[in-house]
Amino acid sequence: MSEPVINIGLAGFGTVGRGVWKFLRSQEDLLACRTGARLKISKVTTRTRSKALDQGVPESMLVPSWKELVSDSQIEIIVELMGGVQEARELVMTALRSGKHVVTANKALLAAHGEELLGIAREQGKKLLFEASVAGGIPILKALQEGLVANHVKSIHGIINGTCNYILTTMRDQKRTYEDVLVDAKRLGYAEADEALDVDGYDTAHKAAVLAALAYGVWVPEAKLFTQGIRSIQQQDIAFARQLGYEVKLLAIIKNDLEETLEIRVNPTLIPLTHVLASVDGVFNAISLRGDVVGDALFYGRGAGEAPTTSSVLADLAEIAKGRGRQEAASFCKPLVKKVLQIEEIISRYYLRLTIEDKPGVLAQVATVLGVHGIGISSVIQPETHEENGVPLIIMLHDAQEQKFVEAVKEIEKLKVVQAPAVWIRVEDFSS
Ligand SMILES: NC(=O)c1ccc[n+]([C@@H]2O[C@H](COP(=O)([O-])OP(=O)(O)OC[C@H]3O[C@@H](n4cnc5c(N)ncnc54)[C@H](OP(=O)(O)O)[C@@H]3O)[C@@H](O)[C@H]2O)c1
């Protein structure tokens, strides 16, 4: 007996759209055997038609607007791969309200409107799936909702932007500046012409918002999600961090150890070289997660690119084809947290680099200010240099509340023997 056909409307034919077109065909039999249904693209819409025609999409399949996908009663699933927010939101809303399931990879859309769109999906009894929106080919969202469903997730630490990880790794290995490596990243296609979304941390923040929503049932608005990118990271800090036994990574950090309180932020972070995330180099992504039942778990793989991202889109299509429900479970749960911490409230360790006058007693003055704020020093290094314009002093600090730490740094910057600005980076020791 032949399998039922599920017709798909594909919106967007860029990197991921092209992958879905190619791999849905090459994997059609495998998916049919595994899901019991035949997934077939019946209509495609995209802005530049020639890109689709060049890949063998028949002219008869191409329609000028997504509106023709959602009004087609034969189409059961819309795959949104256009990117952007406003038009994608309109498409997803209209598709769900027209009784279609939706699969998207659009993290910017979800971070801004995920709650609203999932609400519509629920009302309509349709699925809105988005595995590819976080960490490309790594099936972390399905893991959270299926394999780890019995866990309360205590923490998530993610390297989930390949561009930033490539830049930081290359700065370290080739001892080059941020600006210099960024040029390479653009040439190699790892960074967009406008790099801001990646290097300023917003792409990571969008993905962090999606992870938090699935782990805790709460959508944290972008304005409440502290986001700091990697533009200000200097090669010398990466080198000093290595001397101290740390690696600098852009991390998404989500913690829920305090009852009903969520800590969520994106910032460059020193992580111990002994931690497995420290060895995640180049464009690779990894997510380290701690559950109260499973303990520590690690997910590693390619976070972007045509094939890895397509793998996740096809997994969502297969899930719909199998007729399994998963989103219902997550979205019907009561949110697990009531308060999202402000960045000033978090507790962290810190790396602090000062430029100081090369004379005795400076460390004592700095230590006094830190002591007044109740902040302890865990180690100090002062490389031997004889520069006229001051010498570096690197201090690793014990846990401190961010507000107190920032106040202490402001006072330290006012010391006559210290040149402002101080450079500091949060440190994660994975103890919680
Ligand atoms: N690339 C990745 O590795 C990756 C990984 C994870 C998630 N994602 C997400 O997946 C989505 C697609 O990414 P991508 O890299 O494939 O983007 P892309 O290469 O820029 O492709 C977007 C496609 O959508 C088309 N398009 C844009 N607006 C449209 C409209 N209003 N109507 C019809 N077509 C329209 C574009 O047409 P033109 O060809 O004329 O520009 C292009 O074909 C984004 O949300 C992205 O964040 C991407």
Alpha-carbon 239 to chain mean position = 25
User: Which superfamily does 142-304+335-341 belong to?
Assistant: Dihydrodipicolinate Reductase; domain 2 (3.30.360.10)
Phi/psi at 334 (5° precision)? -70, 145
CATH architecture of the domain 5-129 equals 3-Layer(aba) Sandwich (3.40)
- Shared fold status for 5-129 and 348-427: no
Of the chain, the percentage scoring pLDDT greater than 90 comes to 89
Cα dihedral across residues 359, 245, 282, 214: positive or negative: negative
Compare 258 and 238 and report the one with higher pLDDT.
238
pLDDT tens per residue, range 246-270: 999 999 999 997 678 999 999 999 9
Q: How far is the CA of 186 from the CAs of 7, 164, 201, 232, in angstroms?
A: 37, 12, 17, 18
Tokens representing residue 261 in the block: 């309180």
Domain definitions of the chain by residue range = 5-129, 142-304+335-341, 348-427
User: Which superfamily does 348-427 belong to?
Assistant: ACT domain (3.30.70.260)
Q: Residue 228: name the closest of 249, 257, 256 by CA.
A: 249
**Residue 414 annotated among the catalytic residues of the structure:** no
Q: Are 133 and 108 in contact (CB under 8 A)?
A: no
pLDDT tens per residue, range 148-200: 999 999 999 999 999 999 999 999 999 999 999 999 999 988 888 789 999 99
pLDDT given at position 98: 98
pLDDT given at position 3: 83
Question: Of 100, 107, 127, 207, which is the active-site residue?
Answer: 207
Specify the residue with its C-alpha closest to ligand 1, atom 44: 83
- What residues line ligand 1, using a CB cutoff of 6 Å? 11-17, 45-48, 51, 66, 81-83, 87, 105-107, 132-133, 136, 304-305, 309
